[in-house]
Structure 1
Amino acid sequence: MTERLFVGVLGHRNSGKSTTWNTLFGATVRTGQYPRTLNLHGGEGVEVFLISGSPEERQLYASDILENQDCRIVICSIQYTEAVRKTLDYVVEEKFDLFVQWLNPGRNDVGESYDRLGLTPWLLGHSATVSIRDGKVPPVARTEEIRQFIHGWAKARGLTFTCLQ
């Protein structure tokens, strides 16, 4: 069983990646230095490490942010550019399970985008769970999908704990 999970929200610039995290946590959140609690269901929570601004937008390599981070669950904005391959290569090399939600179309996109980078077959070939969601609609359903996936993954590994909601 894989020991770490990488949950990525993929999209163009201003596609709704940060809005997804803000909705998931119920408040404005930013990348921090330490893990934080994500409330799940039934009074349970789990520790996650959030990277809100995509490494690609900040011209960073994922290992620059994650090399000393031992949190078992990383949630991360990832930008749909060629540079995203470095981030994805890193998480595959580090043997993370992958869950990627692609915002297509993104909030500010003119319409759906063709996968010109070929990420979908690459992700599927690396056993990722991939979903494509509309970033133009309210984020509640797509954030609930992420919360449920994390809950199931974490529960199966004994990582959930009782928390105040």
Structure 2
Amino acid sequence: MSDRLLIAVLGNRDSGKSTTWNRLFDGTVKTGKNKRRLYLNGAQWVEVFLVSGSPEEREMYVSEILPPESLPQIVLCSTQYREDVRETFDFFFHEGYEVFVQWLNPGFDDNSSYEDNFELRDYLLKNGATLQVRNGQINEAPRVKELRQFILGWASYRNLVRTDFP
């Protein structure tokens, strides 16, 4: 059982990855230099690090984006559906992260669903990832709710959930 979690949203350009994070945080968010609170409901939160623009689009290794002092326990990361996305996932697998991927297929701007030409589905599953395929062209609220619930369950089991009392 891993004490580190990667939540990745995978898709083509303009598939809805940033929309997912904005809805999850209830506002516009971008990659920062520090961890931030992610509220899972009205009072409970966990500390996460967000990589909003995918490392593939930035042409950077994810290790160059994450805080250098120590790896965050929970990372939320956009990932571009390209062959080189394996480098990003390899980093997290190597560092012992549990990997949960929500693949937006079709994505918001895609004409239709597309084939897995890079065999990422098999690669992710063989490495122990949990994979959801979700339609990025429909309302994001249900898939964002799934992410919230998954994070809450994972973090609760590890005593990482904090509560703000009114």
Query: Same fold judged by TM-score > 0.5?
Result: yes
TM-score range, shorter chain: over 0.9
**1:156 pairs with 2:154:** no
Give CA deviations for 1:87-131 in whole Å, capped at 9, x if unaligned. Answer: 011111101000000000000001001111101111111111100
The within-5 A match list for 1:53-64 is 53-64=53-64
- 1:27 match: 27
Aligned length: 165
**Distance between the aligned counterparts of 1:85 and 1:106, measured in 2?**
19
The within-5 A match list for 1:76-155 is 76-155=77-156
**Distance between the aligned counterparts of 1:53 and 1:90, measured in 2?**
17
Task: Give the drift of 1:83.
Answer: 1.4
**1:18 pairs with 2:12:** no
**Distance between the aligned counterparts of 2:74 and 2:165, measured in 1?**
20
Structure 2 gaps of 5+ residues are none
What RMSD over aligned residues (CA atoms) do the two structures have, in Å? 1.3
Contact 1:32 1:50 in 2 (8 A): yes
Task: Give the drift of 1:42.
Answer: 5.6
**Distance between the aligned counterparts of 1:28 and 1:22, measured in 2?**
5
The percent of aligned pairs where both chains have the same amino acid is: 50
* Matched residue SS, 1:38: strand
- 2:52 match: 52
Contact 2:50 2:76 in 1 (8 A): yes
Contact 2:11 2:107 in 1 (8 A): yes
Task: Give the drift of 1:138.
Answer: 1.2
Structure 1 gaps of 5+ residues are none
**Which portions of structure 1, spanning 4 or more consecutive aligned residues, are displaced by more than 2 angstroms?**
none
Instruction: Decide which moves more: 86-95 or 155-164.
Output: 155-164
TM-score, normalised with respect to structure 1: 0.96
Change (3 A) 1:108 1:23: same
- 1:40 match: 40
TM-score, normalised with respect to structure 2: 0.96
Task: Give the drift of 1:41.
Answer: 2.9
